[in-house]
Structure 1
Amino acid sequence: MALVARLLVVDDDPRIRHLLELLLSGVRHQVVLADSAKAALEHLRRETPDLILLDIMMPDMDGLTLLGRIRAVRRLAKVPVIMFTGGGKELEGPSRALGADLFLEKPVSGRRLKEVVENLLAREGYVLPGGERVNSLEEVGSRLRHALPEEARFKLLWRKTASRRALLQNLLAKGWTEALLRRILPGEYDLYDLLGHLAFGWPLVPLRERAARVQDPRLASHLEAYLEEKRLPLEGNGLLEELAQALYA
């Protein structure tokens, strides 16, 4: 199954940046563009991309110097880096010595570029909190289960707004929400579904299907019938939220 990855492209030529964005976003990857080493460093202070494509010949700071600074940061030390340049084959040795995973000379065909990007991403697997990498979704799920409550309690916590927020804050503090949203399964899914799928093997339900369930007019009639049967008021009893959350059960 293909992965959705965040890629950082660093090149001072706007035509090259535009071309790379078109090529790589077309295979569902999220592409961030930086027009200089300075812009790249600003982005890398906040984010950890899954792969970096780095031009060597840039005016403010060359790509080799930038690569050295990237590899000096523990969080970024294992992020795959592809160096690409029109400066000549003689730059491959220094690139490799500084930790580049691959060296490409311009021009590079779109097919070749997409091939090497996908190969590097597949080799790197999945990045977990703290920078640990695993090779399969099963391993992701195994680690995630240790960060979540047991399955039944997880369902109960998610159905209440306060406990759901507390759970998300806990996952955010541990780095799990970022890790999951950085390299998620293709498609648009609710975070709860994604967590349940990876940790407990639940089926994934697309967001559109979730929305369709909530908007189903039968939902209101079922709720009213339930409240009437229990002889409870329609307003102020909290069951509206409970029933909506029950859709996730």
Structure 2
Amino acid sequence: MTPSARVTMPDYTDDASSESQPLLDSDDSEIEETCSVLHSTQWERHVEPSLATVQPQAFETATLFRQRFIRQILGLNPFRTSYFTLYRQLDDTSSKAILALAIIFAVLAGLPLPLIGVILGRIINNFPPNADELRHLLYRLMSVAVGYFLVTWGWSVCWAVTGERVSRKTRERLLHRALGMDMAYYDTVAPDLSSILTEKTQTIQLGTSEKVGLFIASISYFISAFTVGFLLNAKLTGVM
């Protein structure tokens, strides 16, 4: 074969190397990204609370944040704790005495209502009644009404004072615990500390004041009404 007739073969080495180079670069970039993700995950696990602003945080709802905040500040989980533990704040004698009077007055407040119904029923059933009998029944009715007013006023005042004292003691305890924490915590996790404390203590006050007395008085009224009904007419009360 003559030199002029020699056929030159195309050189594919440069093309192959140029095509394989992006694949190698992509593999290296994927490995680097995987390593960076692993390093960031390990760093997130061992990060200090004071560096929480640097760490990327996921979105949290207000409920989860407040649960964690109350659990960390108050030292207990309010969603797993009994309701009656709120009254542990009443550690002095006067507060315990007021709480006892509030419970007693609330129980007594449910008793006069069935008696008022019985007295009015006797007045209506014996109409027109005798003058002396009517005067006697009216005296009874006025006495029961005055007693009902006194016990209702008593449990309202006592439960209002109890709720205020529970709220104040809880606020003092929260403030005492909050002052003992690191200042960086309030800059990174709980910047609205005052608003959260105000909201929670107001909720505690509403849940430990007059509503509790009204609930106890309603239960007492329910029990006393059925008791009086069974004493006067057991068959009719049983049917009802």
Shorter-chain TM band: under 0.3
Higher RCO (Cα < 8 Å, 6 or more apart): 2
Tell me which structure has the larger Cα radius of gyration: 2
**TM-score between the two structures when normalised by the length of structure 2:** 0.21
Identify, as 1 or 2, the structure richer in helix. 2
Identify, as 1 or 2, the structure richer in strand. 1
**TM-score between the two structures when normalised by the length of structure 1:** 0.20
